[in-house]
Amino acid sequence: MTIYSLSIEELKNIVKDMEVKYQNINLIDHVKSRLKSPKSIIKKMKKKKYNLNYKELIEKINDIAGIRIICPFQENVYIVRELLMQNPKIQVIEEKDYIQKPKKSGYASLHLIVEVPVETDMGKVYVKAEIQIRTMAMDFWASLEHELKYKNSNVTKQTSKKLLKAAKVMKKLDYEMSVLANETR
Ligand code: 0O2
């Protein structure tokens, strides 16, 4: 877990540098980070029917270390993506664009699975981490949906439908705000 924590610090520094460099355009609103708890890791491994051993954990669980980058506008999400892709300090190994192709739930966000080099007593090791990049509106929806449905198996079809409807409102709000921003620039 120490190694995963160090990878989060490394990623936060990369994002800080980005914010300083692009402070004139308010690229990022805020950044959150989290280390997945051992209980959640085991729960996820069981759900995905992985064998409960360290090999499977290291190879298959990509989001033990995670950071979330919240941007004001959707176009900023793709600028941040580009900057991360070009950053020589990290290697992007997988991308999932749930903005272009939202999940059935309505979930929208851009995910990058990256490898981050971390210095340890035993030398450099490459640690996998997940970067979620999304707008403030997407984050608002996802945080509440996470609490109301994603982690709750007793959700009714009606609630799911209402959450999907709210996701459409969230998408429209992002669009309207982008239009407004472009008009005022
Ligand atoms: P938690 O509690 O947030 O950590 P896979 O590629 O399928 O092998 P994975 O990790 O299931 O692996 O991929 P996926 O579907 O891209 O999900 C990664 C993370 O995205 C999830 O982590 C959630 O944080 C978030 N996420 C995905 N789908 C939804 C959704 O419908 N609603 C919300 N609110 N969040 C979602 P965890 O570990 O599942 O959960």
96 lines ligand 1 (CB under 6 A): yes
130 is catalytic: yes
Q: Is residue 174 part of a domain?
A: no
Q: Is residue 183 part of a domain?
A: no
Q: Is residue 176 part of a domain?
A: no
Residue-number span of the structural domain to which 8 is assigned: 2-136
Helix axes of 74-86 and 2-21: crossing angle, nearest 10 degrees: 110
Q: Which of 115, 130, 145, 176 is catalytic?
A: 130
**pTM (2 d.p.):** 0.94
Chain segment 10-62, per-residue pLDDT in tens: 999 999 999 988 888 889 999 999 999 999 999 999 999 999 998 999 899 99
Q: Is residue 114 part of a domain?
A: yes
Q: Is residue 171 part of a domain?
A: no
Q: Give the whole-angstrom CA distance, residue 137 versus residue 93.
A: 27
Of the pLDDT bands very low, low, confident and very high (cuts 50, 70, 90), residue 5 is very high
Check residue 185 and give its pLDDT.
Answer: 80
Q: Is residue 177 part of a domain?
A: no
Q: Is residue 77 part of a domain?
A: yes
Q: Is residue 119 part of a domain?
A: yes
Check residue 152 and give its pLDDT.
Answer: 76
How many structural domains compose the chain? 1
Q: What is the CATH number of the domain that holds 131?
A: 3.30.460.10
- For residue 106, the 8-state DSSP code is -
Q: Comparing C-alpha atoms, which of 179, 107, 92 is closest to residue 143?
A: 107
